[in-house]
Amino acid sequence: MDVNRDGNRDENRNLSFETFTLAASTADLSEEPAARGRADCLEFRMDLADAPLAALESYGGELPILATNRAAWEGGEADDEGRLEALAEATAVDAVGAVDVELESILAGDAEDVLEAARERGVAVVASAHDFEGTPPRSELVRTLTEAGKYADVAKLAVTAETNADALALLSATEQLTAHGDSVATMAMGEVGRHTRAVAPVYGSKIGYAPVDSERATAPGQYDLETLSRLVSALESLD
């Protein structure tokens, strides 16, 4: 959301996630023009970028930004020192409409400044959890998403599917929470669960992620942006 000189934010930058939002994941904001027309926003991976705050300050693109500074202990490349402070600073940047904060950081009490900065500046929060080893039981998926939803506008959960049953458990949890009125974003990483990236929105998932170029994927099993946009649109047309 843009911050005008009077301190008000431009609603054109708002990321409310009330409907499905397709995020083009990138560490290079110069990819924004290539994402237009397919993506609704950019997920800027600050942890993968050089001088990310400077890149945000100089950003002049049209798409709003979901800023992510992923910790090394949750699949990213950011060291803990200064990581959350940089994410809090990102909330002041005009184009940043949302930030992603790990649920573990929130529960540990380390992310309070980020959450406060986001609230004060009208920036949405995505509370995320990732399982790179497998897929917990369905009841645990529901518990994790419910817990994340207490602190955020969207509860995000990415698991690693090893069987079709894992993918079904994730989709079932997504449908249950959506029916309950919760905003969730879900996906199964890896080849077995890859189809969930296209199918989960049918069950209520609010955010999808895809690289502009498949060679620069930021998570296992991602479709490229053009493919995921086409698949989601095709499934939406069946409703």
User: What are 142's two structure tokens?
Assistant: 């529901």
Dihedral through CA 84, CA 72, CA 163, CA 166, nearest 10? Answer: -20
- Per-residue confidence at 214, pLDDT binned at 50, 70, 90? confident
Query: Are the CB atoms for 24 and 41 separated by under 8 Å?
Result: yes
Q: What percent of the chain has pLDDT over 90?
A: 88
Ordered by start, the domain boundaries in the chain are 20-228
Count, residues in the chain: 239
pLDDT mean over 50-71 = 98
Lowest average pLDDT, out of 4-13, 113-122, 166-175, 203-212, goes to: 4-13
Catalytic residue among 130, 150, 195, 206: 130
Q: What is the pLDDT of residue 10?
A: 57
Q: Does domain 20-228 have CATH number 3.20.20.70?
A: yes
Annotated catalytic residue within 156, 180, 195, 206: 156
pLDDT at 197: 97
> Is position 206 annotated as part of the catalytic site?
no
- The answer to whether the beta carbons of residues 69 and 101 sit under 8 Å apart is no
Quote the tokens at residue 12. Answer: 């054109």
* Eight-class DSSP state of 224: P
Are β-strands 184-189 and 41-45 bridged in parallel, bridged antiparallel, or unpaired? unpaired
Region 52-80: mean pLDDT is 97
- What residues are designated binding site? 43-45, 70, 197, 218, 222
Residues of each annotated binding site for 3-dehydroquinate: 43-45, 70, 197, 218, 222
Tens of pLDDT, residues 125-160: 999 999 999 999 999 999 999 999 999 999 999 999
* pLDDT classification of 7: cutoffs 50, 70, 90: very low
pLDDT over 60 at 212, yes or no: yes
Residue of 74, 166, 136, 163 whose CA lies nearest to 111:
74
* Residue keyed to tokens 């940043």: 96
Please, which residues have CB within 8 angstroms of residue 124's CB and are 6 or more apart in sequence?
Answer: 14, 15, 16, 17, 97, 98, 99, 118, 152, 153, 154
CA 182 to chain centre: 16
Tens of pLDDT, residue by residue over 11-25, are 556 899 999 999 999
What residues pair up with 185 in beta bridges, in sequence order? 156
Q: State the chain's maximal CA–CA distance in angstroms.
A: 53
Say if CB 112 and CB 84 are below 8 A apart: no
Rounded to an integer, what distance in angstroms lies between the CA atom of residue 132 and that of residue 122? 32
- In this structure, which amino acid lies at residue 61? G
DSSP tag of 190 = S
**Per mean pLDDT, which range of 10-14, 46-50, 75-79 is the poorest?**
10-14
156 as an active site residue: the answer is yes
